[in-house]
Amino acid sequence: MLYFVATPIGNLKDFSYRAVEVLNGVDEIACEDTRRSFVLLNRYGIKKPLFAYHKFNEREESEKIADKLAAGKNIAVISDAGMPLISDPGNVLVNVLIERGLDFTVVPGACACVSALVLSGFSCARFCFIGFLPQKQSERTALLEKYKDLDMPLIFYSAPHDIKKDVAAIYSVFGERRAAAVKEITKIYERTERFDLKDGLGGEPKGEYVLIVDGKDKDDFSALSEEEHIRRYLDAGMDKKDALKRVAKERGVSKSSLYKYTI
């Protein structure tokens, strides 16, 4: 069996009894960074052979891990913090295991994006996790365009050297939105900064960030043309007269100035 084991995202006490039990029971542990994992494992007295499994050797090591499982070994996979596969290595391995009919399971635990959403104050009823934005501007803009009309909070991961650039990129595509930047989750200096995208993030960025941006307001028509605004109500089943009256009121214009868009 292979186990994907969630690790603490800050406070080392956020580690489940089951996680410790599983890691003590496997034959080997695959780590994103063996040096960082050693600190956690040593804290809980876990003494197992460690080997590196990261984005630069993911393809090669996935095949090796599958071979070990086929030979009867039990393996655990952990990332530096949080849940493996969530903006961390693991997807390649999952696909290899499925292709080869090998068993795997999950030992759940801390996840930064969910914790940050709770701290942000935005609705948790539904959300969209996006993760890290691409480095190339064209790819970053293209990705954001796909999500700009969602009416739910969007969650991004951002490094300290990228956070201000990411906020500016999101504002350029989404326009004005409320946002929250969360860092040092579960640590002594945990902090949530709530701000408007147009104002940017204040201060000198330090630490890894989870950035939550509020979804598009369903009643925000600023990005719609007059014709698109009218069409929205007509498509919803409203008759032309009522649609014109509604749009005129919302845009603060006369009905007669809008009539030409319905011809």
Domains observed in the chain: 2-110 (3.40.1010.10), 113-213 (3.30.950.10), 226-262 (no CATH)
pLDDT of residue 44: 97
Average pLDDT over residues 88-94: 96
Look up the pTM and report it. 0.80
pLDDT of residue 222: 64
pLDDT digits (tens, 9 = 90+) for 192-233: 999 999 999 988 899 899 999 999 876 666 667 888 888 877
pLDDT, tens only, 96-155: 999 999 999 999 999 999 999 999 999 999 999 999 999 999 999 999 999 998 999 999
- List the helix and strand counts (H, then E) for the chain: 9, 10
pLDDT at position 26, please? 98
